[in-house]
Structure 1
């Protein structure tokens, strides 16, 4: 008897717990008009996915070929770029070597490998990843498409417990300052432009430096021949990109491993043979002495020393192609030790042969292995370009998803590893830019001056964003933040001041290139925001929609229609334009909004948010499809099939929730009177509605896409007319249209045109 009582009590407890869960879900479902009804709303918390060690080691090997080609080939030109006027004092070599060692340790190892990589956005890095983290924690986004349900997405969650006062105050200041919102977006776009500029300069300086080494073996090689050989190599590199990071990584990694082994081995050889005393450079006293002796000349030479860390930003930008752990392993075990040994070996050689500083790398190679080393150097220089090219693809994909870049086709090149992408248009534009810079500048001296500005500027911007993340999200101790700013921030600002000094000696190139890209990004984002605001201000009210769809003069034909728009809250005005001109609607109509969240990935079961347009018999729904900025939009299963499955799932779950609500009428207790007087149960009604949806799908799916023309409104200023009427419309006409980006079948696509006066 007592056992029965215990069982009943446990049963009652479980029932009460289920009721609490159900009614909490019902409460969520019945919230205000924000499309909160979600298909697949029951999901398990999703943390960072665990990767087995076998995969990590494979990715670590791949990363050697993709991430470190740039920083790995820096020994080709660092000493020659630093001592442009020759070596005035033998101890200056120790001072510059000490600078290189501590810069590599402080910036590359401590800042990036152990701090910045931790600021990844669910595995993805780059300037936009940092911006996305800040946008999720503070409402600093400029597009008003935020929804409460976005915070329920697994990857959206941020640690916000034990909130500190300074974090709250900073968050409040950012959210209440329109200037701060625009400045953060502007800084993000500028940093992105600089990274893309870095992707242009890397192939130029790396390939020219390597190919130029052939002058040591033969005098028949002229400067023109070196330039044209470099151009041919660069073109071949960009043509190879379409095979994808996965294949490129496995092709390049063995070569870069050989490269690191050779430069480390040669470094040890020179260290032992010429001057083991350069080990004294680990003492930072030699940096102080170097500046005391050379003063302004030492400060100017920092622009050459900073080239030792070129490609470091690629580690962070490319982390989405790999994992944090794999990059940390490959950096600490292979790259960092090899570079230190290479620079120490070159310094040892220069202590005995200071006049060879202009060709330090090739002069320090032992004669028996000169030609093998030359071949590997050229191959490594080609591969060096891969790091920033891959990073450029990643960061453009992120900016594209957040409405900050014109629409281009993003191809996911690996089904095994997420985040590995190729963008054809960008690839060929980068190729043309690289060829133009190589032919125009011809030598590595001016390219090196330009290169330094791009490198240091992006690093400084990354540090600025990281400080915001430390304060608001990580809630780092204030003393640690001050230490970071003092140690790393001061060093980066010192380097930045030095590279800016060479603005007129080639340093203008990345700034000019970045200004061009920034203009394109700003124009696209400006009009994108204006269009969204226009649609939000002119959206169709629910009452007007029911009146339009329920109009007896409007014919309902069999079929399943997907009406696309970017508007999340409401029905876009272009639908009324369509209904007025085409007096026929399909039996099932779904308004689809493609929305990019400021996160890298959204799980499939959390991707679709549905809401019904009442009354039920209209069979009209609204749907927000949420993507992260690295999500693949073209899966093996078609988008329309996935949406159909999620819609049917929503219909069944909605009915289940409604049947559990407190009953007030026949519909709520589970019965519905049909048109023929027959009383249907709730289950029968649901299956009948599912069958209507299925039948409409079988009759054919039509994709209705709004193609809005935008013009400046009457009375608009000259600048606004130039931006909208000429700049934006030029970009829109000459780049891919939405249907090409989303791979919508042309035979089932119907475009609806309308003009927006912004």
Structure 2
């Protein structure tokens, strides 16, 4: 046996050639990975304690909005007088089962499982377990975008066709395979078959997104106004106008301080919300004990039937107020980017759910004996001895809920921008310590103006509540429809389970939706108007972006034309590097031919830079850049695709240009190493590969990525492609002592460095998009007027990419789409 093993080892050693040596050099554990292996046992031991800590921190992010609902639910349910005490029991029963069916069963135990690519997982950093952003309780990820991105990875439903097979090699890009005859495969083909279905799905996602933006306007308005309304209870003679002024002052201060970020105060959010839940739960117990413990019979659903039988149409329309008891539920899924599913579930089942049930039951017990106090039921039910401390806590909780919603709106705008569904706006990263803290100045002031207009215009919680309920129920309907597709395409559940979930959810949510329709003329029109305006902006921008991309794809320059120009490209090659920005991830853009046709010179090195957003939550920094060579080596032309997830931020201080060149230099080294390991007859003079494919030359088993070098046999796409890892970490660079550079490699690296020292110029296209003369009138209106106006008022590409003005060169073009 020993001899056999020795023979096998000798044979293996004989088979170890240069490729094996190269693989051993590249396939080394990263420092982070080695750290994770060393601390794996420690992670398991500390996971329970960490879960409790994350559950505590999730209170300040996820549950602020849901927790402040007791301030206004009963008033919006009974805007007039309570005629029958049994109506209070019936309303309480509806609240109990609404909280049970929607937040608890649907979101906590079903929707939360649809986290995008394992968002919320625990990771190890320097031996301790942390969630990547758990220390930052104020950044959100829109649930509808996470679901849409998940669907885009499992089906070709993305309307802008810029996918590439290398995208699927990312560690965060997970997808499932289908059996051809399965129901999931048939559904996938049905969605992919017609463009209209893709557009319908996109519009559905945009509607949900627009309603969430509406929440960013209505949540601060109703939360702050309801909290400020407590002043009148202690001072009955105070007019409602004073309360409105106080609320407006708080809102102005809240929005004006957004640009500072929340670094220094975010640690207070979770304690404030926890104290708030404990206080309202304690007050609820006190009121049940003092006023009427018989309200606990509302846990029987029979009182729901009696409530509707007794109330008729009025009872049905009162569901619009009951609906407010579950506002903020969508945050349960939207905030999975920051906390594990288990932490969100633990916080809800142990703290949030019981405290809310106690709070609503206590208010109901108070109203059984004080039916005339429904307007300020929450504040009037507070014992006099703790009134002002509770008022302060309520105001603080309302501000926390508002802050979380505002920041969520910023994040959703950022995600829409990444998916090409929103005009370019400036995104500011407000913290160097916490990932995800962003501030969007333009959106901030729009939200403030609209929020103040809603608060000062309606002046009371009732009409704002009607508007709020409309927005929330539409978001829930959108989530249900998207979750149905997730269950079919991603989870591949049995059709009975899909039907059960979808049917039950739609019955409950359509019931609420029918109730809020009765209140459209009483304030419910506000979110519809806001959503319609944002939907128009987002869809027209996406439509114009798609048409511009299609034009660039159809007019891109062939490689045959480039090769026909020769190494000098028919021009004078001046020292320096030209970074040509384009939206194309393949091919030579039309802007390049336009540039060299009108100018007699071009830089010695040309790099086509494509900043591309993928339908994934994030792209690891070490997988950010994908570098290719275009044409023969003596052309000195490259392509660099910078890949981002919809939550990644292109920051001003992230040294983008430096990392790009580091990746370019690393590409040259890897390419030289692979050529040294290959047979000399596998490449032609221009770097073309023969019919024998060399895909999969190098496999990095440590992270699942493949480093390849290949090119098509046709002259139209002579590309040498190597996904390179960011050389940020020392372990990612090839040790020079083990790799002897060839003279060609050394010369090229020296040439690139000299060109870089000579200067770098950023070349951006300043395009004007026009509809063709034969286009239909609605297309001309959309492109020539709406899209043109949006492009005029939005930020320039140079601002988004943080390009310095002294090295910027704009190339003007007119696209007729």
Same structural fold, with TM-score higher than 0.5 when normalized by the shorter chain = yes
Secondary structure of the corresponding residue to residue 205 of structure 2: helix
Aligned equivalent of 1:12? 11
User: Structure 1 pair 42/86, CA: closer, same or farther in 2 (3 Å)?
Assistant: farther
**Farther off after superposition, 305-314 or 13-22:** 13-22
Alignment of 1:451-600 (within 5 A): 451-548=468-565, 550-551=567-568, 553-600=570-617
Q: Give the equivalent residue in structure 1 for 2:331.
A: 314
Distance of aligned partners of 1:488 and 1:21 in 2 relative to their CA distance in 1, 3 Å threshold: farther
Shift of the 526–694 alpha-carbon distance from structure 1 to 2, 3 Å rule, reads: same
Q: Aligned partners of 1:738 and 1:317: how far apart in 2? A: 29
1:734 correspondence with 2:793 = yes
Equivalent in the alignment of 1:263: 280
1:610 is aligned, of 603, 627, 631, to 627
Task: From the two aligned structures, give the one with the greater helix fraction.
Answer: 1
Deviation string, structure 1 residues 48-67 (Cα, Å, up to 9, x no partner): x9987466555444432233
Residue 771 of structure 2 is aligned with which of 694, 701, 712?
Answer: 712
Residue number in structure 2 paired with 1:102: 97
- 1:291-337 CA distance string (max 9 Å, x none): 22222222111100010011111232233244434333332332222
Give SS of 1:320's match: coil
> In the TM superposition, what is the alpha-carbon distance from 1:22 to its structure 2 partner?
11
Structure 2 gaps, min length 5: 120-140, 688-739
Query: 2-side partners of 1:508 and 1:269: how far apart?
Result: 39
Distance 1:7 1:656, change over 3 A: farther
Question: Does structure 1 residue 404 correspond to structure 2 residue 405?
Answer: no
Deviations 1:419-456 (A, max 9, x none): 33222211111111101111111111111111111000
CA shift at 1:394, angstroms? Answer: 1.7
Q: Is the 8 A contact 1:311 1:388 kept in 2?
A: no
Q: In the alignment, what sits opposite 2:361? A: 344
Conserved? CA contact 1:227–1:438, under 8 Å: yes
**Structure 1's 129 and 537: CA in aligned 2 closer, same or farther, altered over 3 A?**
same
The aligned counterpart of 1:182 is 199
Residue among 211, 225, 231 paired with 1:214: 231
Aligned to 1:37: none
Task: Provide, for residues 454-495 of structure 1, a one-character-per-residue CA deviation record: whole Å limited to 9, x for no partner.
Answer: 000001100110010001101123232222123222111111
Give the corresponding residue for 1:354. Answer: 371
Q: Residues of 2 paired with 1:554 and 1:700: CA distance?
A: 19
Matches of 1:288 and 1:432 in 2, distance apart? Answer: 43
Among candidates 288, 297, 314, match of residue 305 of structure 2: 288
Aligned equivalent of 1:67, options 62, 70, 79: 62
1:317/1:394 contact within 8 Å kept? no
Are the equivalent residues in 1 in contact too, given 2:66–2:326 (CA < 8 A)?
Answer: yes
Say whether the 8 Å CA contact 2:180–2:186 is kept in structure 1: no
The match for 2:806 among 747, 752, 755 is 747
CA shift, 1:418, in A, is 3.0
Tell me the secondary structure at the aligned position of residue 338 of structure 1: helix
- On the 8 A contact 2:640/2:660 being kept in 1, the answer is no
Partner secondary structure for residue 460 of structure 1: helix
CA distance in 2, matches of 1:590, 1:693: 11
- Give 1:94 deviation, angstroms: 1.6
CA pair 423-403 structure 1, distance change in 2 beyond 3 A = same
Contact in 2 for aligned 1:409/1:423 (Cα 8 Å)? yes
What is the DSSP-based 3-state SS (H/G/I as helix, E as strand, rest coil) of the residue aligned with 1:142? coil
Q: Is the 8 A contact 2:18 2:677 kept in 1?
A: no
- Counterpart check, 1:692 vs 2:751: yes
TM-score by length of 1: 0.91
Worse-superposed segment, 254-263 or 49-58: 49-58
- Matched pairs, number: 729
State the Cα distance separating 1:696 from its structure 2 match.
1.3
Matched residue SS, 2:606: strand
Cα distance in 2 for residues equivalent to 1:667 and 1:238: 62
1:664 paired residue number: 681
Alignment partner for residue 76 of structure 1, among 56, 71, 75? 71
Distance (whole Å) between structure 1 residues aligned to residue 229 and residue 5 of structure 2:
86
Work out the CA distance in 2 between the residues paired with 1:271 and 1:586: 79
Contact 2:429/2:651, CA 8 A, preserved across alignment: no
Look up the match of 1:254.
Answer: 271
What CA distance in whole angstroms lies between the structure 1 residues aligned with 2:406 and 2:332? Answer: 12
CA contact (8 A) 1:311 1:387 kept: no
Q: 2:345 and 2:401 mapped to 1: Cα distance?
A: 19
C-alpha displacement at 1:602, in angstroms? 0.8
**SS state at 2:330 partner:** helix
- After TM superposition, the structure 1 stretch with the greater mean CA deviation from structure 2, 585-594 or 239-248, is 239-248
Distance in 1 (alpha carbons) for counterparts of 2:13 and 2:192: 43
SS, match of residue 229 in structure 2: helix
Q: 1:230 maps to what in 2?
A: 247
The range that moved more, 288-297 or 237-246, is: 237-246
Shift in CA distance, 238/323, structure 1 to aligned 2, threshold 3 Å:
farther
d(CA) in 1 for partners of 2:3, 2:788: 75
1:60, 1:327 within 8 Å by CA — same for their partners in 2? Answer: yes
Range with greater deviation from structure 2 (519-528 or 728-737): 728-737
The alignment yields a C-alpha RMSD, in angstroms, of: 2.7
Match of 2:780 among 721, 731, 749: 721
Asked if residue 136 in structure 1 is aligned to residue 153 in structure 2, the reply is: yes
Segment of structure 1 superposing worse, 50-59 or 367-376? 50-59
Compute the displacement of 1:115 (Å): 1.8
Summarize the Cα distance change of 1:205–1:138 in structure 2 as closer, same or farther, 3 Å threshold.
Answer: same
Deviation at 1:176, TM superposition (A): 0.6
Q: Deviations over 1:526-567 (max 9, x none)?
A: 100000000000000112123346357511111122110111
Q: Of 105, 113, 116, which residue of structure 2 is paired with 1:118?
A: 113
Instruction: Tell me the equivalent position of 2:703.
Output: none
Say which of 414, 420, 423 aligns to 2:440.
Answer: 423
**Structure-2 separation of matches of 1:603 and 1:173:** 33
CA distance in 2, matches of 1:17, 1:285: 77
1:417 Cα deviation (Å)? 4.1
1:654 corresponds to 2:671: yes
Shift of 1:269: 0.3
Q: Does the aligned pair in 2 maintain the 1:97–1:344 contact within 8 Å? A: yes
Structure 1 residues 566 and 276, CA gap change in structure 2 (3 angstroms): same
- Between 497-506 and 707-716, report the one with greater CA deviation: 707-716
TM-aligned CA deviation for residue 187 of structure 1: 0.7
- CA displacement, residues 557-608 of structure 1 (integer Å, 9 cap, x when unaligned): 1112211011122111111111122221111111111111000111223222
**Mapping of residues 317-332 of structure 1, within 5 Å:** 317-332=334-349
CA distance in 2, matches of 1:60, 1:385: 20
CA shift in 2, pair 1:373/1:604, >3 Å: closer
Query: TM-score if structure 2 supplies the norm length?
Result: 0.84
Closer, same or farther: CA 56–753 of 1 in aligned 2, 3 Å: farther
Gaps of 5+ in 1: 26-39, 671-680
Secondary structure of 1:155 counterpart: coil
